[in-house]
Amino acid sequence: MTLNEKKEEKSQTLKNESNSDSWIIGKEFRFEAAHQLPNHDGKCARLHGHSWRGVIYIFGNKLITSGAKQGMIMDYGDIKKYIKPLLDNYLDHYHLNETTGLTNPTSEAIAKWIYEQLEDKIPGLVAVRIDETCTSQCIYSKGKIDFLMF
């Protein structure tokens, strides 16, 4: 299949999916952490900290039809249960270079790291957003970014 044929097939798939109901929900989380970017050519090469903000995005085209979670893609409380161990054991009030195993924990690397920790646990996970500062953010998705319209 040629590249143009693949693009056309993907476009048609998205068009077909857009004809049905779909939702993207997001659950915000926050943490305080330090990091150091050893290869950076400025002040970020030094150890420093941020008040980080993140959002877990989940896509669904079917809602739960019965029970206490009826009408939801997923309960926000359940999403919180998945992110809490990462916050408690690796992110909140930690030195990210040490706890994540990332040599160069940029926003991009942290977003991808969080996504990879959660991708087998959260059905419908499409992206992780990380805000390093109030004006600087990154969204990571593993080939699913087409679902996100920002």
Active-site residues, by number, are: 44, 93, 132
Q: In the chain, at which residue ranges do the beta strands (DSSP E only) sit?
A: 23-35, 48-60, 94-95, 125-133, 136-140
Q: What does the alpha-carbon distance between residue 52 and residue 132 come to, in Å, rounded to a whole number?
A: 5
Q: What does the alpha-carbon distance between residue 115 and residue 122 come to, in Å, rounded to a whole number?
A: 10
Q: What does the alpha-carbon distance between residue 118 and residue 5 come to, in Å, rounded to a whole number?
A: 32
Residue ranges in the chain assigned as alpha helix (H): 3-18, 76-86, 96-99, 107-118
Q: What does the alpha-carbon distance between residue 87 and residue 68 come to, in Å, rounded to a whole number?
A: 27
Query: Which single residue is written with the structure tokens 């408690």?
Result: 88
